[in-house]
Chains A and B, each alone.
Chain A
Amino acid sequence: MTIDIKGGAKDLAGIALFVSLVAIIPLVTDSGVALNFVMMALYAALLSQAWNILGGFGGQFSFGHALFFGTGAYFQAMAQLNMGLNPWVALAIAVAGGSVVGVVVGALSFRYGLKGSYFALVTLAFAEVFRILTLSVPFTGAGVGLMLPLQESFANMQFGSRKGYVYLVLSFVTVALLVTWGLKHSRFGAYLQAIRDNEDSARAIGVNPFNIKLGAIAISGGLMAAGGAFYVQVFQYIDPGIAFGPATSVEALVAAIVGGISTLWGPLLGALVLHVLADITRNMFGQLPGINMVIYGVVLVMIVMFLPRGIGGLGATAKSVWVGVWRKKDGQHE
């Protein structure tokens, strides 16, 4: 399948610009605070981009995306601890694991026509099942979780300062951006969005919904798993609650909605906004447990109420208003 490179050139340039600008940051500052902020914002963006592929472009809202995150995290940890593999190899396994879990859950759900709320519920249920399983089974460390021994080196994907991790997550985010870009300018993406907008119409003109949705969840799962693997490398620790708990699922979802789902830059924008918000909150209220999530929840409700297309959608709305005004001036109307 060939991608419309000419049509997507503008987006591609945008991606190149964004990546270059962010890549400069670790070169011009040593501030731990700044680097940490950039790293966590990019990490949140990665998770949100992953969710967006299935949720935004595919129209299938998953409430349990932590399922793939946790799979990636545990595979990353266990491949190193139990199989002695190099972290870079483990990464490949983690991503593959996320995709495979995606395909299995997707095959079950889509084969039986689950949509909308039912699909959201099923993903939630699967995430919970995995959480309980990892909690009860000894070889995943059960409730204690798994810890990666500290051994800093590039080969071991552990970096002395935040700078290394910033570049690591930036590379993941770049991949996610390119994947989203490819989706936006290819037949696969056109088919996926057609299914989202009207599945019956799509079927009537030759689109196979099952295969396409399966592809989307595989990609989404793989990217999300990369996020999980990254988490393990940075924090050197994972447990069932962190891996499969609702917090990760919610963050990925809310950032995408806030920024504007089914757009290239929405998840990034949303992740940035939420992170800035979280920082401001922390400065105002200190480390109150739960305050972050309260803000996320309130923001989610407000966005859905007043800005359903997210902040990124503001641009689209403004543009259509502008165009409308411009056209009326010319005396044109439909």
Chain B
Amino acid sequence: MIDLGIVFSSVLNGLTTGAVYALIALGLTLIYGVLHIINFAHGASLMLALYAVYVLKQHWGIDPYLALPLVVPGMFALGYALQRLIINRASHGKDENILLVTLGLSIVMENAALLFFKSDTRTIDTAYTLTTIAIGPAMIALPKLVAFAGALLVSGALLLIVGKTDLGRAIRAVAREKQGAKLMGINVDHVYAMSFGIGLSCLGAAACFLLPAYYVNPQVGSGFVLVAFTVVVLGGMGSFGGALVGGLLVGVVESLGGLFLGESLGQIGIFVIFIGVLLFRPQGLFGAKV
């Protein structure tokens, strides 16, 4: 007999992880929606952000949540620079090239991290790492609850930026019709770079929320890449709502999968979803028809 309490706990945990997945996916789907590129370096970039949070804590004693004002703009700058200086130059207008460049970047990032930090898995200790809160029959770690709330807040902020600001309007214009936006005087290269920067800054925020309850090593990036893509593809490429819903769904599926099949095999659930969606409903839940 399945203990409903354990299932409930698993679902809640899945939701908290899912919210962070959603935040990660939001960045990815923004980048796809505006630049129409699939950023293979997304996972590796998250890994770099995680290391940044780690270093800030270990060497300067800065609490991860307090590090937000440092890491988020830092990741934004990285994203802006990468897009403007490398990805833009390398594309030559062909999709395959962008694919290869982002792959190349992810390889460089992952192995540079391996070079500097070695392959050890690292975690941080904070005052609240071990605190748990009771919700019904479940005990949820405090960092996870903070992650849940934080991820939703940042997602909300992102949606506000894209929906209500001038920059957001420019972004949406470029996403819909690049040539038209150019004719209106919008600096498309700048908007591209801003969008990429925003996409990566989501990762900065996600890293701050993630590290207290998680860990970092050079390979975490690849783990997150496929999850992020699954969420985006499930929710629909370019759809923000889809990324949110998809993220939560994937988080829950992963958690339940781990509960019933064990941690390794539970991961397969995600890939099965991914492959299934790509084959049978490539536009995802909310995306435009591919």
* A–B touching in complex (CB under 8 Å): yes
A112 touches B282 (CB 8 A): yes
A120 touches B97 (CB 8 A): no
B112 touches A294 (CB 8 A): yes
Chain A: interface secondary structure?
helix
Chain A minimum-CB-distance residue to B275: A125
- With both chains docked as a complex, state the minimum distance between the C-beta of A236 and any C-beta of chain B, in angstroms: 24
The stretch that binds B, out of A126-134, A219-227, A264-272, is A126-134
A305 touches B86 (CB 8 A): yes
Q: Write out the residue numbers on chain A whose beta carbons fall within 8 Å of the beta carbon of B105.
A: 297, 301
B86 touches A61 (CB 8 A): no
Question: Which among A124, A126, A291, A301 is the interface contact of B111 at CB below 8 angstroms?
Answer: A291
B99 touches A122 (CB 8 A): no
Q: How far is the CA of A291 from the CA of B116 in the complex (A)?
A: 10
Q: Write out the residue numbers on chain A whose beta carbons fall within 8 Å of the beta carbon of B114.
A: 289-290, 293
B61 interface contact, C-beta 8 A: no
A298 touches B92 (CB 8 A): no
- With both chains docked as a complex, state the minimum distance between the C-beta of B204 and any C-beta of chain A, in angstroms: 22
A171 interface contact, C-beta 8 A: no
B167 interface contact, C-beta 8 A: no
Taking residues whose C-beta sits less than 8 angstroms from the other chain, chain B's interface range is 35 or more
A290 touches B115 (CB 8 A): yes
B90 touches A305 (CB 8 A): yes
B107 touches A296 (CB 8 A): yes
Q: How far is the CA of A284 from the CA of B279 in the complex (A)?
A: 47
Q: Write out the residue numbers on chain A whose beta carbons fall within 8 Å of the beta carbon of B262.
A: 136
B111 touches A114 (CB 8 A): no
Extra 14 A-B pairs, beta carbons < 8 Å, given A118-B278, A291-B111: A61-B99, A116-B99, A117-B38, A121-B278, A125-B226, A125-B274, A129-B268, A129-B275, A288-B115, A289-B118, A301-B90, A301-B108, A305-B89, A305-B101
Which residues from chain A sit less than 8 Å from chain B, CB to CB?
61, 63, 108-109, 112, 114, 116-118, 120-122, 124-126, 128-129, 132-133, 135-136, 246, 250, 253-254, 257, 288-294, 296-298, 300-301, 304-305, 308
Which residues from chain B sit less than 8 Å from chain A, CB to CB?
38, 40, 86, 89-90, 92, 94-97, 99-101, 103-115, 118-119, 218, 222, 226, 229, 233, 262, 264-265, 267-268, 271-272, 274-275, 278-280, 282
Nearest 7 A/B pairs, CB to CB: A297-B107, A290-B114, A290-B111, A300-B104, A297-B108, A301-B104, A293-B111
